[in-house]
A and B are shown apart, each in its own frame.
Chain A
Amino acid sequence: MRRYLPGLLLVSPALAIIVFLFLVPLAGAVTGAFQDADGGFSFGNFIKTYQLYSNDILFTIVIVALSALLTAALSVAIAGYLTLGTSPAAVAILRWLYRWPLFIPFIVVGQILRTFLAKNGLMNNIFVATGLITPLHTVGFLDWRGIVIAFVWKQTPFVTLLLAGAMASIDRGTVEAARNLGASRLRILLEIVLPQAAPTLMVALTLSIVTMMSVLSVPLMIASQSPTVITVDMAFRINAYGDYGVANALGLISLVLTGAVAWIYLRQTMRENAR
């Protein structure tokens, strides 16, 4: 025992922080989800959550899934061009441009897109000014579309950053070998480069999904009417009703959803490592 003591002492501050700042509050939230107003065990919060918010939960899943898919598609396109692009100038410009949204906070993204996507916002003003549509036909995007646009706009640079790094580090010879045999650039991207960078894409998307599940500001700024995402409902339960029980239940559902994504990812990597 004495032998392990210095090691345990060294670990203890980090362990204490994890226990008191993470595990204890998490346990509190989880148990809180299963407690009724009197503190007894109950599924009441979940029943209420299901009755009030099942549509919002579905809405959240659809929005996050759609955003993740669009982010993946855009990231593959951008990272692919950064890796395989033949015009050095275009590659340099793209490399410089794509990272900008990384440095803009979600709340600012919400703000920018709110003024841009509104019915009388900048986007429609431009369309009207250029004669593409008449003022009568303008449509605001401040609903699910706005949230998806904001998520994709904010998360694409992050996923692209990781993906472009992974693509840059693959053996360049594997690309040239495919070119030597006559593969087009699109085939090289999809059949040679992307499969080798796929684990990184999966990690980036998993992290991205967790981020999107936890963003409150963007849906609040862009579309807080019904249906909306889980985070808005949680904030509403606490701020309007002081109802921590249902908020905890919603939080637990969020955690289960992100946990499922992480589990799918982990199972995939373990299967690949086993091979």
Chain B
Amino acid sequence: MATDFFDLSQSGPLDRGSLPADPMSVSDSGPLPIPPAHQGTLLLPLCLPSIALGMVAVVLGTWLFKSPSASLFTFAGSLSGLLITIALFRRQEAAAIATLNRPDVRSAGLDSTGVFRSLLGELIHRVERHESKSRELTDQRARLEARAHLLKTQVRRLIHTLDLVEQPVFLLDSGNTLVYRNAAATTLLNAVSGNPEIPAASAWDSMASLKSLVESVRNRSAAADKRTAELELKCAGELITYRAEAANLYDDDGRQTSVSIVLSDIREQVLETAKQAQFVSSVSHELKTPLASIRAYTELLMDDVDDPDERLELLQFIDEQVDRLTRLVNNLLNFARVESGVIKVQREDVDVNRIARKALEVVASAAKEKQIAIVDELSDLYLPAHLDVDLFGQAIINLLSNAVKYTPKGGQIRLRTRMQDTEAVIEVQDNGMGIPVDALPRLFERFYRVPQNSKAAPGTGLGLALVKYIVTNIHDGAISAASQVHQGSVFSIRIPLGHRGRGSRASQLQKSVN
């Protein structure tokens, strides 16, 4: 059924421009100077009048002279005239045939054919015209066959291409019968019917939402003959959101004939929209919460609180909230700068250990304040990687400062680097408060903060999200976390080993040995 629509034996539309408008209008440019047709055809005018005259002479003679002998005499005269005519004709005919059999001397022969010149010219003219027409038709037929073959090949390719398209494509004829569907559409129909026994076409009949879309697009004016609708289809038990685009198709005369429908699975877009909405909602919440405290305390200071100690306390609260807001705005801007590409990523060939060592220096003072020991377990090997030093350094600093924040006084943090297969691994391990197992999957979400730990230290819920973005989106790496409550956490970053500049990985390793 699917291929019937493209069967060229059913008189497919051909390109008329390449064919003669009227197949009979063949040009008259033959090799001979042919006289016009009305001057020829002398055979009948010569023979028939001779016979007729003879007959008339007999009748007339018999009637006039009342003498059969006189009329017989007249008849004999007429008959000999006729015989002479026939003999002349035969001679000329033989000459003409001889001439015709010698195409190389056609022109010369024609001149010598005497009274049959016109007749022969006409004959030759007609024969040649028919020959020419016949050749023309044969050529035309060959051209059409070649064209039909080409079209068939193109249609086959189109069908094949449409079958490779992931989006289901349907085509309905003017009677709303499903005349074509691509492979994805067949798969969809099978999934909708949920039963391989049921023919896919009958599943189409059950899709009321698509049918009503077809109806609505048919009723559209030519100016707006496309319609888009979002619809949900239950495929193999799962509800999938599709965007359906229906469009009217027209024939050469502008008559609306078929309707095409293309479906797109927009589950991911729907999810992305929901995520964006969630993000905006979170930003709103994170920004407005400290603002709410600031506003409330400012008003209390103006209206209600007179005691100097209490005023100072409220001012300190306000100060804290301003700090919180500043931190949040900075983090948000940082994230936005990195994500939008305002901060240009400048990757270079470096040793991972060099970046790790710098990060250690940055958090050293904060760790010292909390009497937290930082254990340097950096690899002795040169770990070549192609990194943005600042951004990747920021990622390690974020992990280290998180470790400092959520590890109690006197705790320990280990920073480890190593080579594993084709990757460099950077691990930040602490023996702090740990993360509950149900919080681990959400750890890298923007604004997510572990509820049990959020009171332990100020934070915006953006630090780990930024680390993940830097590692996965910018450096093609991966990040994971493992933890046990009250035992501590390990965050592992993995990035591809190797420099991008001159020299292979082996030579880089050699360089590290030297």
The answer to whether A binds B is no
Partner-A contacts on B (CB < 8 A): none
